[in-house]
Amino acid sequence: MFRARRPERRWRDRTPLSVVLVVCAIVLVVVMTLGVGIGSVPLSPVAVWHVVASGLAGHPQNTVAGIIVWQIRLPRVLLAAVVGAALTTAGSVVQVLVRNALADPFLLGVSSGASVGATAVLLLGVFASLGVWAISVGSILGALMAMAAVFAVSRGGKGGRGLAPTQLILCGVVMSALFESVTSYLIFRGNPQATQSVLFWLLGSFGLASWNQLPIPAVALAAAMVYLMAQARSLNAMAMGAEPAASLGVDVRRMRRNLFVVTSLMAGVAVAVSGVIGFVGLVVPHIVRLMVGSDHRRVLPTGVLFGAAFMVLGDLLARTIVSPQEMPIGVITAFIGAPTLIVLIRRRPYLYGATQ
């Protein structure tokens, strides 16, 4: 059985990265074109790209198609792509951090902490003076607060030893439950009208997407990718365990801390603009590793493109399945992600760092 699978793994690992990225980029462009073109007013791909080209040239069209594409659908599609890429990258990093293939940002309480910050802004008016940036600031601070709490609690053992994967997981689960209870309390104390909007937001939505929301998550994703690609070899070493990584010259404690910060920032900005969207950071990294292997020099760039396409497709389904109403995207990702993950687990037992 082992010999029958090894050629497949060798072929997958040796497929040129450029080929994989080109294919994923084509898929992303196609999905984004569909996402912009499909809606209550259908638009052809030619019309979509004509409006986009005019906008990029500095001459946005004032036609109905121009307004629909440039002001409504394109910002939403781009935001969905950025969030999908960020959550996929965060999931890949968390799985390295805890050496568990079933980990994602929710496991460490990061997303729950971001939810607390964003809910406080929506219900209590915290940081209201910051205007459109209020939710982003509250979400990022909540994610960092959760990260700091898990980091501190997990280091509270004898001698203040470094962060062990099991400690991180257990502390993350406990802190996640705590932050979720805080969010529930805030919702319970809020007025009914605001509570309804918060509950919808907590299930994930890009319904309020605008150009103003794009800079923070896009910059955060770009900065994280620059750092993570520079540390790709260290990530590969960390995936083998703390002792092998240390023997290869990796400062394990510092690396874990840095990965925790990067994950918190990406999850925080994603939650700020889209709400809580599950399964993306859990399922997509599995699919990407089956496509390109476990080398993070291949996993990270492929994950950005594939995760973006996955989220854009999920958002398209969320706003068309029950049209003219809109379904929370978290429902779509759960419907897609849960069966996909079950199939992957049953067909190919997964150990971190390699498929068996």
Residue pair 49/185 in contact by the 8 Å Cβ criterion: no
State the CB neighbour count (10 A cutoff) for residue 263.
26
Residue 351 has pLDDT above 80, yes or no: no
Q: Maximum Cα–Cα distance for the chain, whole Å?
A: 67
Residue pair 286/345 in contact by the 8 Å Cβ criterion: no
Residue 145 has pLDDT above 60, yes or no: yes
pTM of the model: 0.87
Residue pair 33/45 in contact by the 8 Å Cβ criterion: yes
User: How many whole angstroms separate alpha carbon 110 and alpha carbon 253?
Assistant: 19
Q: What is the mean pLDDT of the chain?
A: 84
Residue 33 has pLDDT above 90, yes or no: yes
Tell me how far the alpha carbon of residue 334 is from its chain's centroid: 14
Residue 353: pLDDT band with limits 50, 70, 90? very low
Residue 47 has pLDDT above 60, yes or no: yes
Show the domain range for 177: 2-355
- Say what the pLDDT of residue 2 is: 35
Residue 4 has pLDDT above 50, yes or no: no
Closest-CA residue to 116 (of 203, 205, 176, 169)? 176
In the chain, where does DSSP find H-type helix? 2-14, 17-37, 45-56, 64-67, 74-98, 110-124, 134-154, 165-189, 192-202, 215-230, 232-239, 242-247, 252-274, 280-292, 296-320, 329-347
Residue 355: pLDDT band with limits 50, 70, 90? very low
Which CATH number goes with the domain that contains 250?
1.10.3470.10
User: Number of folded domains in the chain?
Assistant: 1
- Say what the pLDDT of residue 169 is: 76
Q: Provide mean pLDDT across the span 217-222.
A: 94
Q: For helices 252-274 and 74-98, what crossing angle results, to 10°?
A: 150
Q: Provide mean pLDDT across the span 16-24.
A: 93
